[in-house]
Copies of this chain bind each other. A is one copy, B any other.
Amino acid sequence: MKLHNYFRSSASFRVRIALELKGLPYEYVPVHLVKGEHKQEGYAALSPSMLVPTLVTDAGEHLGQSMAIIEWLDETHPQQPLMPRDPLGRARVRALSQLIACEIHPLNNLRVLKYLTQELKVDEETKATWYRHWVREGLLAFERELAQLPRGKYAYGDTPTLVDCCLVPQIFNGKRFNTDYSGLDRTMAAFDACMELPAFQRAQPSHQPDNEA
């Protein structure tokens, strides 16, 4: 498999975690978002929506959208399952994942931050406040949701799931803007537990070949 992705992209990071957790080897193909490589002809032919990541399967299929890719990986490579077996468990895992992937992350990705500065002409401090606002509000909601569920080692249960694949990149992402993570006890405990695992370590931005940090 080939993963077309960018070291700092949260959605890319999610898929790298899943691949590492499952022990699946893959070829890393960097797509430089800041240089606009995702909008160039070559990548657009692979991903018509011009978003990273794209997973190219061994059968040559191009898969987009990180949560969809991870569920596909889980359905086709069942070792180290990332989804619970029962429908209620899957509903909980999907809902917690979507709380990050649909409510927090979309507001803070590169093209939105660009629109804020280039079109709305907001200054750097206003942009950072916007950024921290959505991460903080979203993670507080996430923490309240976790509080309703039995406590496990990871975000949902005692093995890593799709939720952790979404949570860890979001925490990394928010750290870049010095987001306040106080009062997020369950959330941060899950994050810390994940970071003890080699799979999460290997998937992090600073360990990627295109890392510039």
Contacts and interface: CB of A to CB of B under 8 A. Distances in A.
A35 B87 CA distance: 34
A48 B102 CA distance: 16
Interface stretch (A19-27, A139-147, A152-160, A172-180): A139-147
Contact of A76 (B87, B130, B133, B148): B87
A173 B208 CA distance: 40
Interface of A: 48-51, 61, 63-65, 67-69, 71-72, 75-76, 87-88, 90-92, 94-95, 98-99, 101-103, 105-107, 112, 115, 119-120, 122, 126, 129-130, 133, 141-142, 144-145, 147-148
Specify how many copies of this chain sit in the oligomer: 2
Contact of A133 (B51, B61, B115, B133): B115
A61 B49 CA distance: 36
A41 to B, nearest CB: 13
